């Protein structure tokens, strides 16, 4: 497909698409817009949320199987996934978010042929990053020891981290291809692959742990096999089943303007990392508390429940990111604005319902992960803070999605830095250690940082001039799109 080079604001819309919304002047019009945007939002959000839930459950079901091996094993896997794993995941997912922004805006502008080039650029940048990040897995034990973790847990977590190093490299393909497909609303195939992978992971864990008795080594082997299966499946689908977006094949054009792409990737990376590593930092502090095995285990169980809700919110996050980027690409500022309002209301409903469920079931949810009475009581004590955090997450996720769709990653990175690390983390340390409130104090401080971040994001979103955002999107796509049109034929290597 030949890329478009005319300005965004005069591109003829797809006949199946409507023009920008007229200003809402009555309750009836507001209800109509709300319903239309709700349908559009969940048409994307539901399959993305289900996909993310399935993919997170691959890690979660691993924790469940390991948790029934013992408290030490549960704390070990928690430390490996929530600290070492999140170091790499933060970088790679954050950088892949930039791909979602560019693909979404280009797809909305009708420049579908640019998506394959963007995907290849992302593969290059993420592959180089993965090689550097592998050092965190190789030297996991000394890193955890430097961070003050219990030596017994740190040694076992380091061994487990080295065992799951192959999974980290699979993320290079996995995360990029997800953003590539989500930007085109091709989320059904990702959902089915994730569902198949979850079934396979459960079967492999039962085989390796319960039948073969391989323990943590078996859990790591299953984790690697399953995640590489997802990565290969999605990669093959992108190359052979997305002909319009992959019309240049593998091309040298992917190396052109790669520094500009890398800069946007790093801005997205730090926006996401500051948020993800905030929780990771608190997890590290929990490991320094007295009775670290119980503290880490209970924190891990609560984090798992929080992340189950987070997967639904990530669906809304991805959906609003796609909606905003697509509508800005089409030159529809008012539609982008209204879709944001609808997404905020939908996510608040998810957060409120999740909080109520946790409050009601706080004494029963620990049984899923552990047979230990001490661990169960520790989880029940944290459940109230867990419920409130779920409500706060519901707002944070949708506003972060708006930021990604609009390309505001650098600005949000500064907001996250200030709210999380200059306010929330010091407060968590004060409450947890100075005032001796333990894990509850650490979680309370973390929650306060999130609340402050929400305030700033609400101010940023409410004061946005969406017409200006359309103009900025136009300039970005024209600059990069023109470069690709000039070279897409002569630079093609393999016309797959």
**pLDDT tens-digit readout, 441-467:** 888 898 899 899 889 888 887 777 767
Q: How confident is the model at residue 289 (pLDDT cuts 50, 70, 90)?
A: confident
CA dist 223 and 217 (Å) reads: 10
Residue of higher predicted confidence among 173 and 108: 173
Q: How confident is the model at residue 198 (pLDDT cuts 50, 70, 90)?
A: very high
In eight-state DSSP terms, residue 242 is -
Between the CA of residue 284 and those of 147, 152, 313, 370, 434, what are the distances in Å?
7, 15, 25, 21, 17
User: Mean pLDDT: which of 115-124, 137-146, 437-446 is highest?
Assistant: 137-146
Whether residue 10 lies inside any domain: the answer is no
Of 81-90, 144-153, 250-259, 481-490, minimum mean pLDDT range: 481-490
Q: What's the rounded mean pLDDT across residues 278-306?
A: 81
Residue of higher predicted confidence among 171 and 398: 171
Residue of higher predicted confidence among 434 and 468: 434
Per the structure block, which two tokens stand in for 477?
Answer: 């796509």
At 466 the pLDDT is: 66
Q: How confident is the model at residue 11 (pLDDT cuts 50, 70, 90)?
A: very low
Residue carrying structure tokens 């990669």: 235
Q: How confident is the model at residue 65 (pLDDT cuts 50, 70, 90)?
A: very high
Whether residue 12 lies inside any domain: the answer is no
At 284 the pLDDT is: 84
Between the CA of residue 207 and those of 193, 201, 468, what are the distances in Å?
21, 10, 56
At 476 the pLDDT is: 59
Asked if residue 281 lies in contact with residue 60, where contact means CB atoms within 8 angstroms, the answer is: no
Cβ-proximal residues to 156 (8 Å cutoff; 6+ apart), any chain: 72, 73, 76, 216
**pLDDT tens-digit readout, 423-439:** 999 999 999 888 988 88
Residue carrying structure tokens 């005319």: 6
Q: Where are the alpha helices (DSSP H) in 242-372?
A: 258-286, 292-330, 333-361
Q: What's the rounded mean pLDDT across residues 399-415?
A: 73
Rg (CA), the chain: 22
% residues pLDDT > 70 (the chain): 85
Total structural domains within the chain: 1
Long-range contacts of 142-145 (CB under 8 A, 24+ apart): 143/84, 144/79, 144/83, 144/84
Q: Where are the alpha helices (DSSP H) in 164-291?
A: 165-183, 188-205, 215-241, 258-286
Asked if residue 330 lies in contact with residue 17, where contact means CB atoms within 8 angstroms, the answer is: yes
Asked if residue 445 lies in contact with residue 427, where contact means CB atoms within 8 angstroms, the answer is: yes
Q: How confident is the model at residue 18 (pLDDT cuts 50, 70, 90)?
A: low
User: Mean pLDDT: which of 121-135, 245-259, 295-309, 365-379 is highest?
Assistant: 121-135
User: Mean pLDDT: which of 134-143, 388-397, 472-481 is highest?
Assistant: 134-143
Q: How confident is the model at residue 7 (pLDDT cuts 50, 70, 90)?
A: very low
Whether residue 165 lies inside any domain: the answer is yes
Q: How confident is the model at residue 334 (pLDDT cuts 50, 70, 90)?
A: confident
Provide the mean pLDDT of the chain. 80
Q: Which of 440, 426, 424 is nearest to 385 (CA)?
A: 440
At 475 the pLDDT is: 66
Whether residue 2 lies inside any domain: the answer is no
Residue carrying structure tokens 């890193």: 143
Whether residue 486 has pLDDT greater than 70? no
At 253 the pLDDT is: 65
**pLDDT tens-digit readout, 339-385:** 888 888 888 888 899 999 999 988 887 887 877 788 888 888 888 88
At 16 the pLDDT is: 41
At 250 the pLDDT is: 72
Q: What's the rounded mean pLDDT across residues 114-122?
A: 79
Residue of higher predicted confidence among 19 and 39: 39
At 37 the pLDDT is: 84
Residue of higher predicted confidence among 418 and 286: 418
Quote the longest CA-to-CA distance of the chain: 67
User: Mean pLDDT: which of 2-11, 14-23, 256-265, 334-343 is highest?
Assistant: 334-343
Per the structure block, which two tokens stand in for 283?
Answer: 């997890």
At 489 the pLDDT is: 40
Domain of 59? 27-490
Helix (H, G, I), strand (E, B) or coil at 483: helix
Q: How confident is the model at residue 3 (pLDDT cuts 50, 70, 90)?
A: very low
90 burial level (CB within 10 Å; 0-12, 13-18, 19+): buried
Whether residue 487 has pLDDT greater than 80? no
CA dist 101 and 401 (Å) reads: 10
Whether residue 7 lies inside any domain: the answer is no
At 57 the pLDDT is: 87
């Amino acid at each position: 497909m030949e890329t478009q080079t005319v300005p965004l604001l005069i591109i003829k819309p797809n006949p199946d698409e409507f023009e920008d919304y007229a200003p809402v002047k009555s309750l009836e019009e507001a209800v109509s817009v709300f319903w239309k945007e709700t349908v559009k939002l969940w048409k994307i959000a539901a399959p993305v949320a289900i996909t993310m839930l399935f993919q997170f459950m691959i890690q979660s079901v691993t924790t469940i199987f390991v948790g029934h091996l013992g408290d030490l094993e549960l704390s070990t896997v928690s430390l490996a996934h929530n600290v070492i794993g999140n170091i790499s995941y933060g970088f790679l997912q954050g950088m892949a978010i930039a791909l979602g922004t560019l693909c979404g805006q280009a797809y909305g502008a009708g420049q579908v042929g640019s998506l394959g080039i963007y995907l290849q650029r992302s593969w290059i940048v993420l592959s180089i990053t993965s090689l550097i990040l592998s050092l965190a897995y190789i030297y996991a034990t000394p890193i955890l020891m430097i961070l003050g973790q219990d030596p017994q847990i740190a040694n076992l977590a380091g061994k487990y981290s080295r065992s799951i190093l192959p999974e980290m490299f699979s993320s290079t393909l996995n995360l990029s291809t997800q953003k590539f497909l989500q930007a085109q609303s091709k989320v059904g195939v990702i959902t089915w692959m994730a569902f198949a992978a979850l079934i396979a992971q459960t079967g492999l864990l039962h085989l390796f742990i319960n039948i073969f008795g391989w323990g943590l080594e078996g859990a790591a082997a299953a984790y690697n096999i399953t995640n590489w299966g997802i990565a290969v499946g999605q990669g093959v689908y992108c190359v052979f089943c997305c002909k319009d977006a992959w019309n240049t094949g593998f091309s040298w054009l992917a190396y052109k303007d790669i520094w500009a792409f890398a800069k946007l990737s790093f801005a997205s990376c730090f926006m996401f990392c500051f948020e993800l590593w905030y929780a990771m930092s608190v997890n590290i502090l929990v490991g320094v508390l007295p009775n670290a095995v119980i503290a880490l285990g209970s924190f891990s169980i609560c984090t798992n429940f929080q992340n189950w809700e987070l997967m639904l919110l990530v669906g809304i996050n991805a959906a609003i990111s796609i909606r905003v980027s697509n509508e800005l690409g089409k030159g529809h500022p008012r539609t982008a604005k209204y879709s944001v309002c609808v997404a905020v209301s939908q996510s608040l409903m998810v957060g409120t319902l999740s909080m109520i469920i946790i409050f009601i079931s706080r004494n029963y949810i620990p049984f899923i992960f552990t047979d230990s009475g001490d661990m169960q009581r520790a989880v029940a004590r944290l459940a109230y803070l867990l419920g409130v955090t779920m409500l706060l997450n519901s707002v944070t996720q949708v506003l972060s999605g708006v930021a990604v769709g609009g390309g505001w990653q650098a600005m949000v990175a500064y907001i996250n830095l200030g709210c999380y690390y200059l306010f929330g983390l010091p407060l968590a340390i004060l409450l947890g250690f100075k005032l001796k409130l333990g894990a509850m104090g650490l979680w309370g401080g973390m929650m306060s940082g999130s609340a402050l971040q929400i305030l700033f994001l609400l101010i940023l979103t409410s004061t946005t001039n969406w017409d200006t955002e359309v103009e900025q999107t136009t300039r970005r796509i024209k600059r990069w799109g023109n470069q690709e049109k000039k070279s897409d034929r002569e630079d093609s290597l393999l016309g797959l």
